[in-house]
Amino acid sequence: MALGDVVDDDDDAFFVVQDASGRVHGATTRGADEETLFRAEALAKFLDVDDALAEKCRAIEREGSRWLSSVDAPRCGVERAARAVFERYAKGWEYDAETSGVEFWTQTERVGTHFDKDEEARERYGVWLTPHVATVTYVEGDGGSAPTVVFDGLTPRSQPDAENHDGSACERTVVMFPSRGAHFKFDGRFLHGVYEELSRDGDEGRRTTLLANVWFNHKPVGIERLPDSFTDDYEPQIVESPESLTPSVLCPACLDVSPMKKCTFGPTGTEYALVGATDLPTVALRACADAGMSLIFLEHRDGDDIRIEVPKDEPDAKRTKAT
């Protein structure tokens, strides 16, 4: 889709402007460091999680994605936690308050490789819109649970059949192992997922996450607030000065790697394949997690980067073209 295109759909007209990087256009900094906003960062503890918050997060899982505008007053504990995420990353930015806010949902299930996006815009209009910032707050889980894995640099424009394909590759993979109350932030455009192969053998503990994505100047199509029935007086305990985690840096080319499951993803789960992601230093990663090192950067050498390709055995008729 070209910059500023209007898409007509029966009675509806959908208009969006994207900047050169593929983000929704319009938000600007007021002296804030743009690079700082988008780079991967983890906090040792963002929330003092208690059983009450964990229970509330599990209770809203069935509600799916919900919206809290920057001008809305939170009505429950989960909305207050989501608002705290928005305020942390909106600081220093200028944006349209009415159309900016936080999309949030909770999850106890492991989710495969995917892009966070405006799902309705993708389905109805064929346009990829991603949040400015994606975040994960670990409500329940420990270092033995499956980590969040982010492929730094791989965006919807990395897909080989995208109309605006940019040929980008992943030169760094970011791995974040869960820890109760910890928080992980990364560029909302990047491909990511939860990888069971990196969990501790036999670990079947509960893994509950609060996902909160920051959107500037765009409200995802069709997403609304939580119903009034979830209103409560619960006040989540936000850590005032959270400690940033120092990442451990590994070079996969220098370590023993283990074969992982074939990594495919897409609208039906098989349209695209991650080439180079099937061999990761699983033993070294688990050793880091068991030693209490939650945030790990895998720096890929030249020629060992990770790319998105169309599987050679994937029928053309089954693929959904990226735009």
Single pTM value for the model: 0.90
What is the reported pLDDT for 4? 45
- CATH numeric code, 32-245: 2.60.120
Least Cα distance to 107 among 24, 8, 209, 5 occurs for 209
Note down pLDDT in tens along the chain; length 323 residues: 334 444 444 445 778 888 888 899 988 887 667 778 899 999 999 999 999 999 999 999 999 999 999 999 999 999 999 999 999 999 989 999 999 999 999 999 888 899 999 999 999 988 899 999 999 999 998 878 899 999 999 999 898 877 777 778 898 999 999 999 999 999 999 999 998 888 886 566 678 999 999 999 999 999 999 999 999 999 999 999 999 999 999 998 888 887 666 688 888 888 998 887 667 898 999 999 999 999 999 998 877 788 898 876 654 434 444 44
Strand pairing category for 148-152 and 93-94? unpaired
Strand order in the sheet with 295-299: 191-194, 148-152, 172-176, 295-299, 248-250
What is the reported pLDDT for 92? 86
Distance separating the N- and C-terminal Cα atoms of the chain: 6
Give domain limits for the chain.
32-245
Cβ–Cβ under 8 Å, residues 113 and 158: no
Could you tell me which residues come within 8 angstroms of residue 122 by beta carbon, excluding any fewer than 6 positions away? 128, 129
Cβ–Cβ under 8 Å, residues 138 and 295: no
Distance in angstroms (rounded) separating the CA atoms of residues 240 and 45 = 10
Cβ–Cβ under 8 Å, residues 134 and 257: no
What is the reported pLDDT for 205? 64
Distance in angstroms (rounded) separating the CA atoms of residues 206 and 187 = 26
